Amino acid sequence: MNYRRLWLAAGVLAVWAQDPAAVTREGRYWVEAAGGSAPAVKGGRLRLSTRGEVSLRGEDRADIAYALKKRVKAGTEAAARELLRQFRMHTVRQGDATEITLRVPRSSAEAELRLRVPRSLREVELISQAGNLEAENLAGALRAETGGGRIRVARVQGALTVSSGGGAIQLREISGAVRCISGGGPITAFQLEADAELTTAGGEILVRQAARDLRLAAGGGNIRVERARAVTATTAGGLIDVLEAMGPVVAETGAGTVKVRAASGLRVSSGAGAIQLEDVSGALQASTDLGNITAMLAAGKPFEDSQLNARAGDITVFIPSNLAVTVEAINSGGGWARIVSDFPQIQPRRQGRGSEARGALNGGGPRLRLVASGGTIYLRKSEEKPVRSR
């Protein structure tokens, strides 16, 4: 259903109470500022459509207030006034839905619109053909979309959908589910409380804290997660770095390093990069076509059947002294194939053109399978970490 047509056909045209305006000169631009207000529907919906920069803030108020700054380039004041008159701003209301449209002349004209709206709005939609968008302090859902500009959103309790054709996106204190897309800019997120999906075609992704599950995709940039419950991350050619995950991690990069710390269960792969795992537990699946794998297994945490595979690199595994595990190491790298073990009960032996080592630690347990075809496999005892005095 096309709500916009319904509003235009059957809606009520709202009259803005406007402040007087004057035309001034700022550098190359002629500038006119205007402001006004109109009633709002309590708990209703708001849709804004324009071309230019928009800033919106939710407040404890009952109306919608605006401040508009119009800028045009013209040789004379008379020509500037003619262009400024071509800006059109009108509002249509249908039921609890309010639609604001700001039309900006295509010729040498720019607009900056600042809105103060009721925080209690159920749904807000901001659409700009080209320009930066900012929104904060809303209790309901928000959709923000720009053809090419920066987006900043903070303190939104409802679901959030944001999209930029090519600008940076920054999110702070979002309580609802998030879907975020940038055509070519970085994405930075602070404190996400619900599931989130972040995608950029050509920038980096940084997530400081996420209470629930993350799905991250970058066309070729780095991905870094400092804290999350669970992470699924893919990038065509960058670094993936997960500092702490309370649950499983799935990570794939075409040509970069993967680092994961403090995860329970993981499946990671790199086409041409190292894999570094620290304090990991559960079921582990890791593979790289060109690079080393280093894994430090967590002490005192459940371990499940796992496999590490390096086609052209070393595999080094640090095993806690009290972990019950059955090790199966196979190195098929020909005459140079080596397996080095710190454990007397797991010693390598030649097998055809390669080497293998099998054995059980602490009575045996879940299987740890290590497969290399061009480097060395190292089975190391974990060093006890010193206890720091407080």
Q: How far is CA 34 from the centre of its chain?
A: 37
Give the mean pLDDT of 70-75: 93
For 75-79, 104-108, 166-170, which range has the lowest pLDDT when averaged over its residues?
Answer: 104-108
Dist. CA 181–CA 169, nearest whole Å: 9
Which long-range contacts does 42-45 make (Cβ < 8 Å, 24+ apart)? 42/118, 42/120, 43/96, 43/120, 43/121, 43/122, 44/95, 44/96, 44/97, 44/98, 44/121, 44/122, 45/96, 45/97, 45/98, 45/121, 45/122, 45/123, 45/124, 45/125
Sort residue 27 into left (φ over 0), alpha (ψ -120 to 50) or beta.
Answer: left
The secondary structure element, H or E, covering residue 217 is strand 213-218
Give the mean pLDDT of 291-320: 96
The listed range with the strongest mean pLDDT (10-24, 75-89, 166-180, 337-351) is: 166-180
Q: Which of 78, 81, 71, 82 is nearest to 108 (CA)?
A: 71
- Dump pLDDT digits (tens) for 16-62: 444 446 899 998 899 999 999 988 888 999 999 999 999 999 999 99
Report the mean per-residue pLDDT for the chain.
91
- 292 within 8 A of 308, measured Cβ to Cβ: no
High-pLDDT (> 90) share of the chain, %: 83
**pLDDT of res. 82:** 92
Q: Which two tokens stand for residue 6?
A: 């319904």
- Dump pLDDT digits (tens) for 243-279: 999 999 999 999 999 999 999 999 999 999 999 999 9
Predicted confidence (pLDDT) at residue 348 exceeds the cutoff of 90? yes
Count of alpha carbons within 13 Å of 357, Cβ hemisphere only? Answer: 24
The listed range with the strongest mean pLDDT (95-99, 171-175, 348-352) is: 171-175
**pLDDT of res. 333:** 78
Amino acid at position 130, single letter: A
- Dump pLDDT digits (tens) for 211-239: 999 999 999 899 999 999 999 999 998 99
The pair phi, psi for residue 291, each rounded to 5°, is 155, 170
pLDDT band, residue 120 (cuts 50/70/90): very high
**pLDDT of res. 284:** 98
Question: Counting Cβ atoms within 10 Å, is residue 359 exposed (0-12), middle (13-18) or buried (19+)?
Answer: middle
**pLDDT of res. 331:** 95
For 24-28, 250-254, 280-284, 324-328, which range has the lowest pLDDT when averaged over its residues?
Answer: 24-28
